[in-house]
Amino acid sequence: MKGSSSSSTGYPTPPPSPKHDSGPAMNTSSSDPNAMPSSTSGVDGMSQSRQNTLQSQPSQKHEVSIFLAATESFSQKNTNCSIQESLDRFAPLMQQSKQEGYPVRAYISVALGCPFEGPDTDPHVVANLAVKLLEMGADEISVADTTGMGTAPRTRTLLRTLHEAGVRNEDLALHFHDTFGQALVNTMISLEQGIRTFDSAVGGLGGCPYSPGATGNVSTEDLVYTLHSLGANTGVDLEEVSRIGGWITGEIGKGNSSSAGKATMARLRREASA
């Protein structure tokens, strides 16, 4: 975000919450990237092959996850190698995973801002990496706002750049952190752009030791509540996931950062005592 001030951790001053449309009600699944067809098209041959692979393995319980970064600084800090070295290391792993029948999920970290290089991660770098990973055999790309710097305009720009590079919506997941409280705003933008798969964590847990200042992932409870408010069918029981979020944050002694989770638990306690 140009022209903004920065704190000692390199984080920009959080921007005002951007205005956005509420978006249409959608049948959204957090676990099935094929729950809804996308209205956009992309690199057809390899994408169709990946979709056929996923559809032929409905009972697959394991997958291989790989992580690389969209900036050289974060790549060196997080994985002690360059971006190209990451790609070179992944090639044989991905080939073996495919041979063994395991789907591969590739994460692109700091796609909307880097704690060492600032908030303006080049969306074309992210798109180029996504294309390379898909060509190498990745079944799904999780584009991660590791720092939580993402804003509505930059999220929209990134998704349009990915689309222009030929990356299909059904090959993408979005992974938002909520450092500046923008994760749900960015989720709304992503929904409007046709994305149907989102990462989250109960109680807003998560984080990265090499992303100073960043908070956890968007909470599953808040994400589910928002999607349900749009009329979406997620298949997730909000009450049960709220109980889990309350339990696990208590077990590890970390504050529950989910507004929807805490509100749901308060309602359940009131109903139980009535």
Catalytic residue IDs:
208
Among 12, 56, 62, 67, smallest CA distance to 34 is for 56
What does each C-alpha distance from 65 to 44, 106, 171, 267 come to in angstroms? Answer: 23, 6, 14, 37
What one-character-per-residue DSSP string does 56-117 give?
T-TT----EEEEEESSHHHHHHHHSS-HHHHHHHHHHHHHHHHHHT--EEEEEETTT-BTTT
Long-range CB pairs of 238-243 (<8 Å, 24+ gap) are 238/264, 239/264, 239/268, 241/202, 242/268, 243/268
- Pick left, alpha or beta for residue 10 (phi over 0 → left; psi -120 to 50 → alpha; otherwise beta): left
Q: What is the sign, positive or negative, of the torsion defined by CA atoms of 31, 51, 25, 160?
A: positive
Tell me 253's DSSP state.
Answer: T
For the record, the structure tokens of 77 come out as 């800090």
Place of tokens 């032929």: 56
* HEC profile of 128-196: HHHHHHHHHCCCEEEEEECCCCCCHHHHHHHHHHHHHCCCCHHHEEEEEECCCCCHHHHHHHHHHCCCC
Radius of gyration of the chain (CA): 19
Q: Which residues on adjacent β-strands are paired with residue 66?
A: 106
